[in-house]
Chains A and B, each alone.
Chain A
Amino acid sequence: MDQFSVTLGSKAPCAGKPQDHGHALPILHEIRHALERLIATGEETRIDLNAMPFGPGDLDRLRAWLGTGEVQASVSAMGLTLIQETAIPGVWLVDYQNADAQRLTLHLEIAPVPEILRPQAQDLAEAIATLDARLEEGQSNPPRSS
């Protein structure tokens, strides 16, 4: 059997230790511009991180730079959507997943509150009717008090 030659003293990084390809830094600048717009005019911005030509480790580096904030939320509709506030107020990571927990897309939202957490306008329009129906039902069948 042929012998494999082994090179000692390689300077190459070992697997699992991604190097910097420099693609995360421009996103930070884009976030900065978006934050300026949000503060000045209230304009919100969404950045599709799935559309970025990231190399290995670029996304992890970006997430590390953004840090982790206080708020975590999840929406259960067509699979989970995980929302994580970053350490930069107004900058959110929104991870859309399908029912098999596979990522559909990953957005950065620069907004006071991510869009998917807000009640939708049509839902709000139906809110009073929904509550009235429950009130009516509650009056005819009042819950037992202890």
Chain B
Amino acid sequence: MPVRKNPDKTLGESLRDHGLSRRGFLKFCAATASMMALPPSLVPAIAAALDAARRPSVIWLSFQECTGCTESLTRSHAPTLEDLILNIISLDYHHTLQAAAGEAAEEARFQAMEANKGDYLVIVDGSIPGPDSNPGFSTVAGHSNYDILMETVEHAAAVIAVGTCAAFGGLPQANPNPTGARSVMDLVKDKPVINVSGCPPIPMVITGVLAHYLTFGRLPELDAYRRPLAFYGQSIHDRCYRRPFYDRGLFAESFDDEGAKLGWCLYRLGCKGPSTYNACATMKWNDGTSWPIESGHPCLGCSEPSFWDAGGFYEPLSVPLTATSGDLLKTATVGAVVGGGVAMLAKKRAKDAVANRQPVTVEELEDRL
């Protein structure tokens, strides 16, 4: 893959060189606004910003992962990956997609880092065996994931952790965490880290975050888990089209009962929608065709920390009787900001609370949310 050094042309110039008309550009901006979960009234502002935007260099690192996140992105339909690579970002290094291999591939990464020092974005998918773990669990070109990550982010403008493995540790970190897997934000402390969680994340959310950076030249507003609020600001439950059934107390009790056939709420079949924040309910999957709940399956909560260890997927949601959702959120926030003893104490409190989980009724849950 040839290395692009800071492209001189703006995105608008580049698109016009490709023969794109102004109406085509307007359409591109309408799709981009939708992708960024912004209102259509912002299309003119997006058009003006994109017209003057320059392509950022992107280095994509894959560590302990299943390639599902890349699969998700390559199936993004708006824009296509081809558009993304050619017109929006300059993807200088991607283990899985690049044609180059061996020393040539690693040289491409070093060239991109040098040419775009301080300006390039690093996208990471997969968790990383921590500095105290056996580095042999996951290596690229004989180098440990940890060394490659720290070396690459040193002069990056920001790091985007794509997928729940990179954002929160994900499946590799599930109990008993044999590889000592850590998330990106566990290891990178001196750069802005944005988490685009999900197993995999919605492809439009990945491209939406990149488009936001490109359009506005800054990172989007984040929640306490460092996820973009535009996509993770509301719970699945609050945006679920089955919510009216929940409000009326109409629940499917099994996957083939009358309630399931009538499309009633899947809460009692283990739906984690009330405690899960993601954009599936509006952005949907497979080119907007459907999403798990629309297909009759409860939400697994895949965009939340430790979702693999959060109890059975088909067990009704329970919340610790001694900790509120606010406590858990505060724990994460405090852990990220203060660190040390306070975080340990808060984590222990949350851990104890999780160990004492008790099933709750719908009414109790409603009171707590």
Binding site for B on A (CB under 8 A): 10-13, 19, 21-23, 45-48, 50-56, 58, 75, 77-78, 81, 96, 98, 100, 102-105, 107, 115-116, 120, 122-123
Indicate if the CB atoms of A104 and B77 lie closer than 8 Å: yes
Contact of A105 among B24, B78, B241, B261 (CB under 8 A): B78
Indicate if the CB atoms of B241 and A96 lie closer than 8 Å: no
Q: Give the chain A neighbours of B20 by CB distance below 8 A.
A: 77-78
Indicate if the CB atoms of A78 and B43 lie closer than 8 Å: no
Indicate if the CB atoms of A54 and B241 lie closer than 8 Å: yes
Indicate if the CB atoms of A12 and B43 lie closer than 8 Å: no
Q: Give the chain B neighbours of A75 by CB distance below 8 A.
A: 23, 27
Indicate if the CB atoms of A78 and B27 lie closer than 8 Å: yes
A135 to chain B, nearest CB (A): 22
Indicate if the CB atoms of B258 and A120 lie closer than 8 Å: no
Indicate if the CB atoms of A48 and B262 lie closer than 8 Å: no
How long is the Cα–Cα vector from A38 to B43 in the complex, in angstroms?
A: 19
Taking the complex as formed, is B358 at the interface, i.e. its CB lies under 8 A from any CB of chain A?
no
Interface 1/0 per residue, B10-36 and A, CB below 8 Å = 000000000011111011101101100
B55 to chain A, nearest CB (A): 18
Interface residues on B, range: 35 or more
Contact of B34 among A21, A51, A98, A115 (CB under 8 A): A51
How long is the Cα–Cα vector from A21 to B243 in the complex, in angstroms?
A: 9
Interface 1/0 per residue, B319-352 and A, CB below 8 Å = 0000000000000000000000000000000000
How long is the Cα–Cα vector from A22 to B240 in the complex, in angstroms?
A: 12
How long is the Cα–Cα vector from A104 to B77 in the complex, in angstroms?
A: 7
Stretch at the interface among B102-110, B145-153, B154-162, B281-289: B281-289
Q: Give the chain A neighbours of B297 by CB distance below 8 A.
A: none
Q: Give the chain A neighbours of B31 by CB distance below 8 A.
A: 96, 104-105
Indicate if the CB atoms of B39 and A48 lie closer than 8 Å: yes
Known A50-B288, A53-B240, A104-B77; 19 more pairs at CB < 8 Å:
A12-B262, A22-B244, A48-B33, A50-B282, A50-B283, A51-B282, A52-B282, A58-B241, A75-B27, A78-B24, A81-B27, A98-B78, A98-B79, A103-B288, A104-B31, A107-B30, A107-B40, A116-B30, A123-B22
Indicate if the CB atoms of B30 and A77 lie closer than 8 Å: no
Restricting to B242-273, which residues have a CB under 8 Å from any CB of A?
242, 244, 258, 261-263
